[in-house]
Structures are given as C-alpha cells and as structure tokens.
Amino acid sequence: MPQLLKVRNLQTQFFARDSIVKAVDGVSFDLNEGETLALVGESGCGKSVTAMSILRLIPNPPGKIVGGEIFFQGRDLLKISEDEVRDIRGNDIAMVFQEPMTSLNPSLTIGRQISEPMEVHKGITLKKGLLRAKDLLGKVNIAAPERRIHDYPHQFSGGMRQRAMIAMGLGCNPKLIIADEPTTALDVTVQAQLLELMKNLTREYGTALILITHNLGVVARYADRVNVMYAGRIVEKGTAHEIYDDPRHPYTIGLLKSVPQLDQDVKTRLVPVRGQPPDLSKVPEGCAFYPRCDFATERCRKESPVLETVSGNHEKACWIDVK
C-alpha cells in the first residue's frame, strides 16, 4: 500500500523558565494508507505531543517543533505555510481527542460542530452540512440523529459525545484520523463499542488511523503496527504480533506484564513497571529507561541505545538482548 505519512527525527520541545522539556526527542515512523498504527506508552511519554506535532497544533509558546520532517502524501508539513496546514487540518487529517466531556464546544449545537469542518473545507452551506451531520450521527450509531443534531453537548452522554467527535472527524473523508486516547474517559463497555466502531468505519472509508493509547489490550485487537514510546523516543516498533508475542525491549515486556490476562491464574500478581517515568527536562544520560530496568548494565548508563533491527520491520532500542 502507498505510504501516507513519514515522520523523520521529529523533535518537539517545551521551553519553561529555566529548563527545556524534550517531549518528543527524535521520533521516526511510517504509516501506509488505510493502516492502523498504535502509539503506546505511559502518560507523559510524548505520544500526544507527537500527534499534535503532526498537525502543528503545539501551543507556541511554550512549545516548539525544533527539528525533523513530517511528510504527508509527500509534502513536508513542517515546511508549508500556516494557511496550507490549515487546509489539511480537519480535512485530510482529523483528530479525535481524549476528553469527550470538554472537547466539544458547550455553546454550539452538535450538528453545527459536525458540519463546521465540511463548511470550511468542502465549501458547503450550513444547511447541507446539517444534513450531512445527521447522516454521520447515524453512521456512528446515535439514535434519532435528525433530532440529536440540534442538541447541545451537555445533552449527550460521554460515549455519545465521543461518537459525535468521530462523526466530526469523518465528515471530510480524511486520509488519516489521529485518535488521542479516544476511550480513556469512558466506561469499559462503551470503550469496546467505540473502538469497534472506529475500526469498522476506518476500514469502510479506507482511512488510516493513529491510535494513541496506554492500553495494550486495545492495541492487540485494533492495531496493525505498534510503536512503543518511552521518554520522548520510540523504544520498540513492530507489528502487533511481534510486539505481543516477541517483545524485545524491557519496557515493552514490563508493560505487557502489567496487563491482566483472562486466562491467567487468579493468584498471579500483576507486575507493574517499577519507578516513575523520568522528568523530561532532565532525562538521564544513556538509556532513559536505565533507572527502572531490571536488565541494566554499565553500558546502559553511559550510552543511549539506538533503534536496531530485530527481524524484518521489528526494531528495538536496547543494548541487551532480552527475550
């Protein structure tokens, strides 16, 4: 399949009074059309900042993309003008945010908010936009959409709002949807429904999906490929199978151990990854995971590991050959 997105050595930093937070520190990855890629990692590992950087939505100040390239359909998004990137936002690349409760405007109707990107990018009228909004709400399984488009967000439940967000994203038939922890704030039952919905819709429309999550259970089921991030870097990448069945980075192994399994003996204790993620304004020299790693050696403390091939497209950034 043709390549849609190519990110090379992306570096995004936040400038505080007397420190620099390297939120994304040299991230590279590729995404093909129609593919689902998961970005996995703990809170504060740079997943969301990576996503926001793709659309150049990093608030400046304090944040700034200081280096790298983001090719979308062959164009470097970091080199085009603000007007050009605005044409891409919501049109070719749509975002679904993690807080459905606060990500919709409380004083505009749902229909209006869904219709808005189509009005801007496809040049249709509000009237036509509302008709489309009605169809889209139906597509995301909201009952009585012709009535619901006139509702305000506070009349929607959390799950319904997130469906509305998805409908909003689908409006312009984007090539890529970036979903930033789309299910984190929702009930578990609703989470599954929503992910299923997103999977079906992206398949139907041939839309590529970047799914940002810290839930590895989600990843296994919905993603084709997985990038595991730690402290602003990708520490392991591969297909969902490779990451699940053959994790090679101690951090990935730690994450997998901390996910409950249905077939596990009930007495088995979950093993959390010990310690805290590092402060990104003072990442230690050497491997950032070194202080929390069970396999750490002297080399890990001094030298920062780079991504190297395990097999095929499976890569890891670790000095140790962990299996």
Supply the minimum distance, in Å, between the C-beta of residue 86 and other proteins. 5
User: Which one, 87 or 279, has the nearer CB to other proteins?
Assistant: 87
For the bound state, the minimum distance from the C-beta of residue 73 to other proteins, rounded and expressed in Å, comes to 16
Output the CA–CA distances (angstroms, integers) from residue 17 to 14, 215, 280, in the order listed: 10, 33, 14
Among 10, 23, 27, 95, binds other proteins (CB under 8 A): 95
Between 105 and 264, name the residue whose CB sits nearer to other proteins: 105
Cα torsion at 116, 185, 193, 41 (round to 10°)? 100
- Compute the C-alpha angle 217/223/224, nearest 5°: 135
Give me the amino acid identity at 158.
G
Any contact of residue 15 with other proteins (CB under 8 A)?
no
Least distance from other proteins to the Cβ atom of residue 105, Å: 4
Considering only 12, 36, 91, 162, the residue that binds other proteins (CB under 8 A) is 91
The CB-of-149 to other proteins minimum distance in angstroms stands at 14
H or E segment and range at residue 113: helix 110-122
Residues 116-155 that bind other proteins (CB under 8 A): 116-117, 120-121, 152, 154-155
Residues 6+ apart with CB under 8 A from 159: 100, 186, 187, 190, 193, 194
What size, in residues, is the chain? 323
Rounded to a whole number, what is the distance in angstroms from the first to the last CA of the chain?
31
Output the smallest distance, CB 165 to other proteins, in A.
Answer: 8
Q: How many binding residues for other proteins (CB under 8 A)? A: 28
For the chain, count helices (H), then strands (E): 11, 12
Listed ranges 2-10, 100-108, 245-253, 299-307: which one lies at the site for other proteins (CB under 8 A): 100-108
Residues found near other proteins in the complex (CB under 8 A): 55, 57, 86-91, 94-95, 97, 99, 102-108, 116-117, 120-121, 152, 154-155, 165, 168
